[in-house]
Structure 1
């Protein structure tokens, strides 16, 4: 998920890009930035109402009209769960009990806060938090890639959340293979060659690239995209998940993390005038085929993406927002606005991780921009809010500490409730609900959302 904002300089003669920006804007007006949404490619319009099915005892009780009050629960690097010290428990039984009790405690607290949807990270890298036939078990659970944890964390999460009337969306990082390239990590990945299943790192080394200090899959390789789609299909077909979500990491893992895909471009990029257009095409293909696959398997399962908050800046595109932030279209090669217009997503959850006073990317400017994007479509809009900044001192964003961050949080939630196009709020991320700096904000959330 996005943690920082990369500011782009205002365009002027000194930058040497004014002419290029003008040409880009003109081309956009002529080709890709029409205000009329293109027809839906994959997801059918929700005009036909399916007969109501009898409710099962464990199905969530959320109605479609109830706003989403969600939270992201990250497992990468054990940020939110499982407990870091659980992997050194004296026995497997103690480890399992510690992990399960911790998750139950989290869900109980979320319930009291009025949270009704958990976005649970099931694929933090090239490993799984479910019993997969494609990916090895995550080392987040046991300390070693491929070691059976003795239970199925995704199924446990689904059972416990559904008991409490909460929905669960399976959160995938589609392309990440490993969060670092250390020799010890390489050795651990190579060790999986004797396992079933083994890591993609050893099964398909030709798919692997480095982005910054991380191993990722090359999005330009068709087989790699098919492989990702098969992973989503495995979860959707075998588990009663309420939704599937991709985060914002497509091409860029970190600012400036260049991907060496020259050979892939040479092989598959014929007919594209630029590598950037080809990369966006590759991301588009992944979203299309994942959307189509989910709807073919289980039409009721929602598919959404949580992109960086800025699609494009107005200085580069007349359809963009009045911002100066790193743009998903240009940095991650993700044309998120187009996915909404084409009906490829059931929902989009842009990460608007800035306060009202941040001029480069004002919260209200971006919230209203996204509301305008979804208005003529059937795509629902949830807003990602920066809980991790609440109460934290910041030179550029001091409003997060005023009154414990409650006034800023209240303004953001008030705007979300006031705009009819916004159907919910998602907090990033769960463990910040348990930190001293957010105590005032948590009390406020409980008074506003709690039962």
Structure 2
């Protein structure tokens, strides 16, 4: 049970979220075209897939976005989504993680985010229909659970001048891009524009986005991917000034960064449970929390650790019950000694065992059928034996409640044909 102080915080948080947009104005109600449907129950064994919209990787196709006829564009995009849903149902998939906020734009009607350019080629242009509403209507009709997948901090996927110009142009529209509204929140990292996670107003803005979404759409879950602090050695997130301003009490900048990520997860989790407790909240972090050589509680691995690279203490989130499910991305085969699939799955199973957090495992469909010197098992017999081993282990461990494939587009590639045929017989039976 929440104590009185936490209840008071929740009340203040929700009132604040519901009251104002990032411009300080009252958020107008969003008219959603999909009828409210009863969501399918959480399946005993999740058979999931990520459906990516960033750069139209899985949907919509660039060709449809460039279609000069709005009527034909809408028809093409809707039909493509219907075809995907029908195919997923035939494979036995029961849960879709649909990317509705790939960056600082949205694939749903929002008072906080402009429309995504993947729909029409133009940031902020109304596509003439509501993709998330359409997905929910068609998905629920087919018995699929739909989780709205958001990237919390990414604003763009590049820093090109044409991108900057397009975002600045939204300042005269409503809603405007966060890039144009709050340049003081923007940093460059990994050669893209991102929000600075150390700024409290940024975390509140992200919470506002989530609450607006669950208030207006009958999504079954809110899903974050693993891009928290995402940087490369050549393109670091320059947050020294933010650390000086907000990092009192933290001797190490890494600890301060991890606390910022924790604060976001806590705030979003509490807001969801206060507004719509039936909506699940889950995250798909890197498969390695920490390596045992750095922390005795870590896994017997030697891979890139979320704790040290993304500044995400994913194990702590599970232990505190901040998330309903976790999907570690275990994108390696059984034979990859430094990050063995079975080693990591069993480690995560032990982590969730004393908690209420459900464990699903993220599987690298994108590697299946692709020759690799370091990971040859992915190409052996079309990758079917490796995929079979991974699913068999997941299904044998009672703590593992499902498997999720990355990503939907790879179900249609020639190299994954044998694996897809296997899925039809295994999942679709």
TM-score normalised by length of structure 2: 0.91
In structure 2, C-alpha distance between the alignment counterparts of 1:154 and 1:323, rounded to whole Å:
39
In structure 2, C-alpha distance between the alignment counterparts of 1:312 and 1:434, rounded to whole Å:
34
Residues 92 and 424, structure 2, Cα contact 8 Å, conserved in 1 = yes
For residues 29-178 of structure 1, what are the structure 2 equivalents within 5 Å? 58-61=37-40, 63-64=41-42, 66-178=44-156
Q: Quick one: higher RCO (CA 8 Å, sep 6+), 1 or 2?
A: 1
Match of 1:8 in 2: none
Question: Secondary structure of the residue that 2:146 maps to in structure 1?
Answer: strand
> What's the offset of the Cα at 1:57?
8.9
Deviations 1:134-183 (A, max 9, x none): 00000010001000000000000000000000000000000000000011
Match of 2:258 in 1: 280
Change (3 A) 1:378 1:157: same
> What's the offset of the Cα at 1:254?
5.1
Residues 43 and 94, structure 2, Cα contact 8 Å, conserved in 1 = no
In structure 2, C-alpha distance between the alignment counterparts of 1:190 and 1:282, rounded to whole Å:
28
> What's the offset of the Cα at 1:212?
2.0
Note the residue ranges of structure 2 that are not aligned, 5 or more in a row: 8-34
Match of 1:49 in 2: none
Residues 42 and 291, structure 1, Cα contact 8 Å, conserved in 2 = no
Aligned match of 1:347 in 314, 325, 333?
325
> What's the offset of the Cα at 1:257?
4.0
For residues 307-326 of structure 1, what are the structure 2 equivalents within 5 Å? 307-326=285-304
Match of 1:424 in 2: 402
Change (3 A) 1:250 1:190: same
Match of 1:205 in 2: 183
Question: Secondary structure of the residue that 1:178 maps to in structure 2?
Answer: coil
Residues 158 and 192, structure 2, Cα contact 8 Å, conserved in 1 = yes
In structure 2, C-alpha distance between the alignment counterparts of 1:81 and 1:64, rounded to whole Å:
25
Match of 1:52 in 2: none
Change (3 A) 1:253 1:433: farther
In structure 1, C-alpha distance between the alignment counterparts of 2:428 and 2:233, rounded to whole Å:
37
Match of 1:368 in 2: 346
> What's the offset of the Cα at 1:88?
1.5
Worse overlay, 203-212 or 256-265: 256-265
For residues 401-440 of structure 1, what are the structure 2 equivalents within 5 Å? 401-440=379-418
> What's the offset of the Cα at 1:383?
0.2
Residues 42 and 288, structure 1, Cα contact 8 Å, conserved in 2 = no
Question: Secondary structure of the residue that 1:283 maps to in structure 2?
Answer: helix
In structure 1, C-alpha distance between the alignment counterparts of 2:324 and 2:400, rounded to whole Å:
13
Match of 2:280 in 1: 302
In structure 1, C-alpha distance between the alignment counterparts of 2:129 and 2:176, rounded to whole Å:
19
In structure 1, C-alpha distance between the alignment counterparts of 2:128 and 2:103, rounded to whole Å:
20
In structure 2, C-alpha distance between the alignment counterparts of 1:186 and 1:120, rounded to whole Å:
26
Residues 387 and 427, structure 1, Cα contact 8 Å, conserved in 2 = yes
Aligned match of 1:397 in 364, 368, 375?
375
In structure 1, C-alpha distance between the alignment counterparts of 2:338 and 2:111, rounded to whole Å:
45
> What's the offset of the Cα at 1:59?
2.6
Match of 1:184 in 2: 162
Question: Secondary structure of the residue that 1:176 maps to in structure 2?
Answer: coil
Residues 221 and 281, structure 2, Cα contact 8 Å, conserved in 1 = yes
Match of 1:225 in 2: 203
Change (3 A) 1:78 1:255: farther
Note the residue ranges of structure 1 that are not aligned, 5 or more in a row: 1-40, 44-55
Change (3 A) 1:245 1:255: farther
In structure 2, C-alpha distance between the alignment counterparts of 1:108 and 1:196, rounded to whole Å:
35
Question: Secondary structure of the residue that 2:155 maps to in structure 1?
Answer: strand
Question: Secondary structure of the residue that 1:177 maps to in structure 2?
Answer: coil
Residues 42 and 344, structure 1, Cα contact 8 Å, conserved in 2 = no
Match of 1:258 in 2: 236
TM-score normalised by length of structure 1: 0.87
Question: Secondary structure of the residue that 1:344 maps to in structure 2?
Answer: coil
Worse overlay, 279-288 or 251-260: 251-260
Q: CA RMSD of the aligned region, Å?
A: 1.6
Deviations 1:37-94 (A, max 9, x none): xxxx989xxxxxxxxxxxx994343x44521000000000100000120011130001
In structure 2, C-alpha distance between the alignment counterparts of 1:42 and 1:171, rounded to whole Å:
27
Deviations 1:220-240 (A, max 9, x none): 000000000000001111100
Residues 42 and 343, structure 1, Cα contact 8 Å, conserved in 2 = no
Match of 1:24 in 2: none
In structure 2, C-alpha distance between the alignment counterparts of 1:281 and 1:354, rounded to whole Å:
29
Change (3 A) 1:334 1:439: same
